[in-house]
Amino acid sequence: MKNKIFGTTLIIAAICALLCSVAAAEDGTLTYSDGAKYTGQIKDGKAHGEGTKIWSNGRKYVGQWKDDKRNGDGILTWPDGEKYEGQWNDDKRHGTGTLFWPPKKEYVKYVGQWEDDKRTGKGTLTYADGSEYAGQLKDSKPHGEGTMTTTCGDVWECMVTKYTGQWKDAKKHGQGTMRATGPGYGFEYTGQWKDDKYHGEGKYTWVDHGEGGEYAGQFKDGKRYGQGTLTEGAIDGDKVKYVGQFKDGKYHGTGTLYDANGKIVQKGTFKDGEFIDK
């Protein structure tokens, strides 16, 4: 019997606390010194609960408030059409949310995690040209593991590219794979990257209108540089192979050149792609 009375007392206390909380927040209007106006629930002279605030520059927020700050779920719109829908913490976008950009901007939409008003965590960013990044972000930039897919009309004429791997400050950096396809040509690179360029150990294969090849070895600033093996020629025909050192994409240093039958053609020292000494 005592347990039943005690339980009933707790329920009544919880209901009273809820009613008191609701009663403490009353509907009203607040006008701020900067010209902004708030309409909604108010507690202790501050926006608290559900309400709408409109700034003099045309910005508008509809959602939850706590101690005069945006806290909880809400929607913020800008005069140019930009809009954010999602979670807030102490006046900053924080948690899960979606940002829509107006026309003629670099981006179209972001869906994902936020931290202290920045896109941080996992998310998907859609660009105005149709490209899309899905993965980790930090300080509103691709950072960590992620995949970027571009559309026809990127830096290569009508070439679609896809990169999956590591990022740093919006650049491909670390281990990753990039594939690209176009009419009659394409390539794939798997290996290390630095500042958006092949850098370190990697493997690059390509086809280009009947020609093709493969390079496995070292890269520097996007070029073959260091020790490596290059095989190239007609896809369905003869291919030559070079094993040795490279500089700026050319044979440079000690190396051996083989013909299609595996016979040594030249062996010794190369410079700027030319054989100079046995």
Residue carrying structure tokens 């408030």 = 65
As to burial, measured by CB atoms within 10 angstroms (0-12 exposed, 13-18 middle, 19+ buried), residue 93 is buried
Q: DSSP state, 262?
A: S
Query: Is residue 196 in a domain?
Result: no
Query: Cα(4)–Cα(64) distance, rounded to whole angstroms?
Result: 37
- The number of distinct structural domains making up the chain is 1
* SS3 at position 16: helix
- Domain of 39 in residue numbering reads as 25-97
Element (H, E) at 93: strand 92-100
Is the residue at 231 inside a domain? Answer: no
Inside any domain, residue 31? yes
State the pTM of this model.
0.85
Out of 14-23, 41-50, 145-154, 190-199, least confident range: 14-23
Residue 29 lies in a domain: yes
- Collapsed DSSP state (helix, strand, coil) of residue 212: strand
Q: What percent of the chain has pLDDT over 70?
A: 89
User: 52 in a domain, yes or no?
Assistant: yes
Please indicate, yes or no, if residue 234 is contained in any of the structural domains.
no
Q: Is 233 contained in some domain?
A: no
| 74 within a domain of the structure (yes/no) | yes
Q: What is the pLDDT of residues 56-110, one digit of tens each?
A: 999 999 999 999 999 999 999 999 999 999 999 999 999 999 999 999 999 999 9
